[in-house]
Amino acid sequence: MQNVIVPLNAFDRLEVLEKGQESFIELIARSGAFGVEIRRELLPVQDPSLERIKNEIINHGLFTVYSAPIELWEKNYQLNAKKLTEVFQEARMLGAKWVKVSLGHFKKDASNIIDLTNFLNQHNELQLLVENDQTSFGGSVIQLKSFFETVTEDHVPIKMTFDAGNWYYSGQSVEDALDKLSPYVLYLHLKQVVDGLVTVPIQKEGNHSWKTVMRNFPHTMLKALEFPIEQKEKTKDYIELISELASESEAIK
């Protein structure tokens, strides 16, 4: 089985909203993926169908990541406890193992790490991941480094989702991010960003930064296809491409 995750936002948004995320699970499993990333922003408000999604995932034996577009720290630098509680409850209903959110407004001398520690102690069956987003604050290498240094010093079990393409949107250096944040990374989001800040499907040919990112980490690290898959049937091809490049990289080492 490959070490590749397929996020549901890789597919056509309108189709996912119309058919439900559960309808894509079989395709993802048949494509050889290790797991699926369920997206909160693509759940119907009236009927999120978490139970149906969970059952479909169980039927196909996939690992589950739950991605929620919320910020860990609010604008007043305090823990976004209410939203975080909702998200963790939903993740539990989905049978997810990992929960992914954005950093938000963290400030070392103002944000209460004890609140975060206490929250995670109540939800220790779930791994919290913080991703670099496309904002100037949640996608800042300096801010993310400050946060991860702080939680590491305080032994708070939080890891990072390293999005290879979001650094372009937040105006940061991919190389600088790799240098300063690699020790905290557990999960990769791979995408290819071209001029004009447009995310496109990854390509085998060419010296793209997502390849550099992937090669900086063990080949066993879980990697997500976080780019538009315009033809669903090509999911298998992209999984095989990632697996092929990861194997080549490992062989070189």
Interior angle at CA 158, CA 128 and CA 151, nearest 5:
140
What local confidence, expressed as pLDDT, does residue 2 receive? 73
What local confidence, expressed as pLDDT, does residue 206 receive? 86
Per-run averaged pLDDT (10 residues), the chain, 253 residues: 90 96 98 98 88 97 98 98 98 98 97 98 97 98 98 97 97 97 98 92 91 94 96 96 81 57
Which residues make Cβ contacts (< 8 Å) with residue 85, sequence separation at least 6?
A: 119
| 3-state SS, residue 37 | strand
Say if CB 80 and CB 74 are below 8 A apart: yes
Q: Which residues pair with 222 in a beta bridge?
A: 187
Q: Which residues pair with 127 in a beta bridge?
A: 98
Number of neighbouring beta carbons within 10 Å of residue 40: 19
Maximum alpha-carbon separation in the chain: 51
The domain total for the chain is 1
What local confidence, expressed as pLDDT, does residue 1 receive? 45
Q: Letter for the amino acid at 232?
A: K
87: tokens are: 């998200």
Residue 121 belongs to domain spanning: 4-252
Q: For residues 225-245, b (16+ Cβ closer than 10 Å) or e, as one string?
A: bbbebeeeeebbebbebbbeb
Phi, psi of 216, rounded to the nearest 5 degrees: -85, -5
CA distance 215 to 217: 5
| 3-state SS, residue 3 | coil
The CA–CA distances, whole Å, from 171 to 138, 211, 245 equal 12, 19, 27
CA distance 44 to 213: 34
| CATH code at position 210 | 3.20.20.150
What CA dihedral angle connects 112, 113, 117 and 118, to 10 degrees? Answer: -10
